[in-house]
Amino acid sequence: MPRYLILQDPGHNRVYFNASLGMATAELSVLCQSRHWPAPTDCELAGIRYLQFDTPEPLNAADRLAIAQLSASYALFSTDGKQLTPEPFGNTHLIEDKISSLQKYAGKTNEHFTRLMINMARYALEPTVDDRPLRLLDPVAGRGTTLFEALTLGMHATGIELESRSVHETQVFFKKFLEQERIKHAHKRQRVAGKNKQEAVFAEQFSFAGDKKSLAQSPQTLSLIEGDTLRAAEFCKPNEFDLLVGDLPYGIAHGNKGQVHTSRNPVELVASAAPGWHRVTRTGGVLALAWNAHLISRQALAEPLQATGFRVLHHSPYDQLIHRVDNAIRRDLIVAVKQD
């Protein structure tokens, strides 16, 4: 049985890297489960930490791409027990990984953790009969780290964000990125809700591809909706998304623009928004939300999700993701599957 080792990405900040072994193992575990491979382990060689996994057959191109897209992957090796042989990763998608690290601002979610959130969600997905790109919604999009990570994985991405400044800055940044990378693209501003000018809610919509033919026929897309996540069902179609992934803010602004309610309690937001989130997620689709566990327990956050029709995954490895960010933040991730 072939054996492989993954060298963890040393680009994590020190606090995150020290806490990341359990999370990286959990992430690799869900990938192995999806492919019916044995459970992975970790090992140490000459003082260097690796993730170790076995496969029934040598890795194919799709397997290599999946390994490359893990948040912890830096290099891949095969081993015969005596020496390590470098192995190539699979081909990447049009939008390169660097996009998530270009923006620097206070409160930005670690892009490695963002990638992990998406992977924990997508490997919990119930399979579909088609082979189309996945569609992801970030209902609390902020400045777009989750959206950009989704794009690097070849997905279509939609974000809902109440702050007009964040939407504008994300739109300007992404348009400039496409231009600098010489990626064929189109951009338009489109109304997605509201019967008149005062009630109108708009989305900045991008389509892009590697060439003109693909841009016309099968582009990848990004949509930035400036609006209230409590109204997600108004902005988006029923059953539109495979994945709903977000990092809940630690000071949450929600409600109508004229009556914004601010709370540090994520349960209030989830309880209010979950019905709309449930409506726009397909049956068998997966929700993954990160939050500050110093503020609220996992059970308290799970209750409104379960009441809405999501089945929360409490078993291993989904219960192994809590970690320290700083003295004020102990972050955890809850993953749930939409039921019929």
pLDDT, tens only, 193-204: 998 888 899 999
What's the whole-number mean pLDDT along residues 143-154?
Answer: 97
Q: Which of 340, 335, 310 is nearest to 321 (CA)?
A: 335
Q: Which long-range contacts (CB under 8 A, 24 or more apart) does 169-177 make?
A: 169/143, 170/141, 170/143, 170/144, 170/224, 171/204, 171/224, 173/102, 173/103, 173/143, 173/144, 174/144, 174/148, 174/206, 174/222, 175/206, 177/99, 177/102
pLDDT of residue 250: 63
What's the whole-number mean pLDDT along residues 236-246?
Answer: 97
CB proximity list for 300: less than 8 A, separation 6 or greater: 267
Residue 66 confidence (pLDDT) above 60: yes
Give SS3 for 336. strand
Tell me which H or E stretch contains 245.
Answer: strand 241-247
Residue 157 confidence (pLDDT) above 70: yes
Give SS3 for 116. helix
Residue 45 in tokens: 């060689």
Q: Where residue 325 falls among pLDDT bands split at 50, 70, 90?
A: confident
Residue 127 confidence (pLDDT) above 90: no
Residue 55 in tokens: 């496969």
pLDDT, tens only, 250-264: 643 434 344 444 555
pLDDT of residue 13: 64
- Rounded to whole angstroms, the Cα distance separating 38 from 32 reads 7
pLDDT of residue 12: 61
pLDDT of residue 264: 54
Tell me which H or E stretch contains 7.
Answer: strand 3-8
Its CATH class, for the domain covering 99-338, is alpha beta
Q: What would the DSSP string read from start to end of 180-239?
A: HTT-EEEEEEEEEE-SSTTT-EEEEEEEEESSHHHHHHS-EEEEEEES-GGGHHHHS-TT
* Direct distance between the N- and C-terminal alpha carbons of the chain, in angstroms, rounded to an integer: 39
> Which of residues 228 and 90 earns the better pLDDT score?
228
Q: Cis omega (within 30 of 0) on the bond before 317?
A: yes
Q: Which of 91-95, 292-296, 306-310 is predicted least confidently?
A: 91-95
User: How many helices and strands, by DSSP H and E, does the chain display?
Assistant: 10, 17
What's the whole-number mean pLDDT along residues 158-184?
Answer: 97
What's the whole-number mean pLDDT along residues 21-31?
Answer: 94
pLDDT of residue 327: 84
Give the CA angle between residues 338, 70, 278 to the nearest 5°: 15
Residue 226 confidence (pLDDT) above 60: yes
What's the whole-number mean pLDDT along residues 263-269?
Answer: 79
Contact 144, 163 (CB under 8 A): no
CB proximity list for 165: less than 8 A, separation 6 or greater: none
Residue 312 in tokens: 């929360």
pTM of the predicted protein model: 0.93
Parallel/antiparallel/unpaired status of strands 241-247 and 281-292: parallel
What's the whole-number mean pLDDT along residues 296-301?
Answer: 94
pLDDT of residue 171: 97
Residue 336 confidence (pLDDT) above 90: yes
What's the whole-number mean pLDDT along residues 4-13?
Answer: 84
Residue 18 confidence (pLDDT) above 60: yes
Tell me which H or E stretch contains 26.
Answer: helix 14-34
Q: Where residue 128 falls among pLDDT bands split at 50, 70, 90?
A: low
